[in-house]
Amino acid sequence: MNVPFLDLKAQHDPIRDEVHAALEQVIEQNAFAGGPYVEAFEQEFARYCHTADAIGVGSGTEAIWLALLALGIGPGDEVITVPNTFIATAEAISFTGAKPVFVDVSEETYNMDPRFLEEAITSRTRAIVPVHLYGQTADMSSILEIASARKIPVVEDAAQAHGATCDGRPAGSMGVAGCFSFYPGKNLGAWGEAGAVVTDDSKLAETVRKLRDHGQPTKSLHDVVGWNSRMDGMQGAVLRVKLARLDDGNRARGSVASRYSEAFAARPEIGAPMNASDAGHVYHLYVVRVQDRDRAQKALTSQGVGCGIHYPVPVHLQPAYRELGHPEGSFPVAERCAQEILSLPMYPELREEQVDYVVGQLLAAINAEENETMTAR
C-alpha cells in the first residue's frame, strides 16, 4: 500500500467544480489583486476567528512581519519566540530589524515553555511570538499572564492552527494579533501563497492594511513606506470555498489522530502527541517520538509510507542564524525533540485502512529494532 505524507488531490477533487466556478467569477470581474473576494474572505475569516478584523496578505511569513512592523518593532528591539518552528517565524522577526530571542519548549507539547519565558525578557523585549505548533495552541494563559504584567504584546504564529482553540478561545484571537498562513498544505490552504493577520485592535488592523498596500490609506496618498503584500484575488475566492469545510476537515483530522493514538497507547516506545489544549488540537501534523527516528523513517519510506520531520534542525542551529551565537546545547529540549520526532501522514481524507497500514508499519519497524537490540545483547 502507498500512503503519501500529504494528498492535496484527494482534498481538491470533491470541490474542484465549486472552486473553478469561484475562479471564473474572479476572472469575470478582473478582481485579481485584493478586491471583493479578498474582502469577503477577510470578513468570513474574522468571524471564524472571533476577531473584529482580518487582513489578507501575501503569505504567513508576511503576516508575522507586517504585524510586528505595525507594532512599531524595528532595529534594537528583541522579539521572543521558540527555536523549534518553521524558520519563517524567526525570519519575520529578523526582517523588521529586531533580534529573535529563543525560549525552549515543553517536552510534552513541543510548544513554548512559559517557565523559561520570564528569564528571556529584557528591557528591549517588544513582543512575544508563541507558535501553535502542529495544530495545538501554546499555553496561552500563562504566556499572556507573564506578557501582560510587563505590557509586552503577544503575536500568535497560528500558521499551523486554523480552528484550534485554547480554553474555548480560537487560535489567533488571544494575543494582540494572530498570524495565519494559507500555504497549500496547511489546514486551510490556498491554491498558491496567502496569509492573514487577525486582530481586535482597529488601529493595528488599519496599520497592517496600510502596510500591505504601499502605505496608502486612500489611493495615491502614501502615509508611510509600505510594501506590496496584497492577497491575490483568486486565493480569496479559493479560501472562501475551503473555509466552509475547515471544521469538517479538522474533525476528520481528529478522528485520524484518535485512531493513531489508540493504536500507540500500549506502546510506550512510541511517544504519541499529548492533547494538552483540552480537545482544541487540530492536528496539522501528527508527530510521534521514537528512539531511532532515522531508522524508523527509512523503514516506513521503504514500505510506501510518506513521513516528514518538523523540524530536523532547530532555528538557532541553522547556518542562517549562526551570528546569534547559540551553540549546541543552548535549547536542550528543542534539540532533543529534533532528533526523535517523526511526522506521520495526516490529512482529513486519510482512510482507516491507510491509518492502520501506517500503524502496522511503524510497529513492525520498532519491533525489528527491539529484536536486533536483544540479539546483540
Ligand X SMILES: *Cc1c(COP(=O)(O)O)cnc(C)c1O
The binding site for ligand X (CB under 6 A) comprises 59-61, 85-86, 88-89, 131, 157, 159-160, 181, 183, 195
DSSP-assigned beta bridge partners for residue 287: 343
Question: Please, what's the b/e burial string for 329-344 (b: 16 or more CB within 10 A of its CB; e: otherwise)?
Answer: ebbebbbebbebbbbb
Residue among 70 and 365 whose Cβ is closer to ligand X? 70
Query: Residue 141 Cβ, how far from ligand X at the closest point, in Å?
Result: 21
Q: Which is nearer to ligand X, 110 or 264 (CB)?
A: 110
Specify the pairing of strand 169-170 against strand 165-166: antiparallel
Residue nearest to ligand X (CB): 60
In whole angstroms, what is the distance from residue 210 CA to residue 99 CA? Answer: 24
Q: How far is CA 70 from the centre of its chain?
A: 21
Nearer to ligand X, 286 or 357 (CB): 286
State the minimum distance, in angstroms, from the CB of residue 183 to ligand X.
4
Beta carbon of residue 316, minimum distance to ligand X (angstroms, whole number): 15
Of 187 and 361, nearer to ligand X (C-beta) is 187
User: Is 97 in contact with 124 (CB distance < 8 Å)?
Assistant: no
CB of 113 to ligand X, least distance (A): 17
CB of 68 to ligand X, least distance (A): 13
Question: Residues with Cβ < 8 Å from 43, sequence gap 6 or more?
Answer: 54
Can you tell me whether residue 352 is helix, strand or coil?
helix
Backbone angles phi, psi at 93, to 5 degrees: -65, -50
Which residue's CB is nearer to ligand X, number 68 or number 359? 68
Identify which of residues 63 and 71 has a Cβ nearer to ligand X in the complex.
63
ω into 311 cis (within 30 of 0): yes
